[in-house]
């Protein structure tokens, strides 16, 4: 399988936002497909549960697929995938997730978004780290660019490396503009490529992503 696993330092750090942008960039180089195999906090409609994040990722692809392929396990509760599935009596195991993210074609480049942080529960007795390890793909870590980001970033990098996975880059997502210079400070403590996402420097971000992936 060719692709990336998108993880984060926690929830609400902008994983889906960054993943969508990465997909849009990589559409220039690859036939990109999206996978968010399990999602909680879905929108309840007459047609069923709509996975917000999975839809955003799928819509970013040049050739979007059926949402049932992109995200087969959907839950309404705003809790971990493990807890949400258990509460509904629909046990999802690690192998279910691995099977769900397989590409339609061998030539596809798969962008897979996890759920929460690298050590967040995602399936029955399985963490995102277990899922990423089972796939063996390079990892993109997303961290919210704020006070404390250096600590969050280094903890996440060490966690991924502990599982012998490659960190292709760490994205500092500057949701709120600041002058903390976290990217420069962080580069003194790790050899992982640090890429800042800033709304006024999108061209620079795009160029770095294309060079690294």
Question: From the candidates 2, 29, 36, 52, which is the catalytic residue?
Answer: 36
116 is in an annotated binding site: yes
- Output the furthest CA–CA distance in the chain (Å, rounded): 52
48 is in an annotated binding site: no
81 is in an annotated binding site: no
184 is in an annotated binding site: no
40 is in an annotated binding site: yes
53 is in an annotated binding site: yes
148 is in an annotated binding site: no
174 is in an annotated binding site: yes
What is the rounded CA–CA span in Å between residue 205 and residue 125?
A: 36
Let me know if 36 is a catalytic residue: yes
111 is in an annotated binding site: no
Per the listing, tokens 């050739």 go with 63
Tell me whether strands 48-50 and 43-45 are parallel, antiparallel or unpaired. antiparallel
10 is in an annotated binding site: no
32 is in an annotated binding site: no
Nearest to 4 by CA among 139, 134, 147, 154: 139
198 is in an annotated binding site: no
Lookup: tokens for 107: 């030539």
Question: What residues are designated binding site?
Answer: 12-17, 40, 53, 113-116, 173-174
Question: What residues are designated binding site for ATP?
Answer: 12-17, 53, 113-116, 173-174
Task: Provide the annotated active-site residues.
Answer: 36
Question: What residues are designated binding site for substrate?
Answer: 40
Question: What residues are designated binding site for Mg(2+)?
Answer: 16, 53, 113
């Amino acid at each position: 399988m060719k692709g990336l696993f998108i993880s984060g330092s926690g929830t609400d750090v902008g994983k889906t936002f960054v993943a969508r942008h990465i997909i849009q960039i990589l559409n220039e180089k690859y036939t990109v497909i999206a996978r968010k195999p399990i999602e909680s906090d879905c929108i309840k409609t007459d047609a069923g549960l709509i996975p917000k994040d999975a839809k955003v990722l799928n819509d970013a692809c040049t050739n979007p697929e059926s949402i049932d392929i992109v995200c087969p396990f959907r839950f309404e509760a705003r809790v971990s995938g493990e807890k949400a599935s258990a509460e509904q009596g629909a046990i999802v195991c690690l192998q279910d997730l691995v099977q769900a993210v397989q590409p339609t074609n061998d030539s596809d480049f798969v962008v897979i978004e996890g759920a929460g942080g690298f050590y967040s529960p995602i399936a029955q007795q399985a963490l995102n780290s277990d899922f990423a390890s089972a796939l063996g793909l390079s990892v993109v870590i997303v961290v919210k660019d704020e006070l404390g980001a250096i600590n969050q970033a280094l903890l996440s990098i060490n966690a991924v490396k502990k599982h012998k996975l490659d960190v292709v880059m760490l994205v500092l997502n500057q949701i709120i503009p600041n002058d903390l210079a976290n990217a420069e400070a962080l580069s003194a403590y790790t050899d992982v490529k640090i890429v800042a996402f800033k709304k006024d420097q999108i061209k620079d971000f795009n160029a770095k992503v294309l060079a690294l992936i």
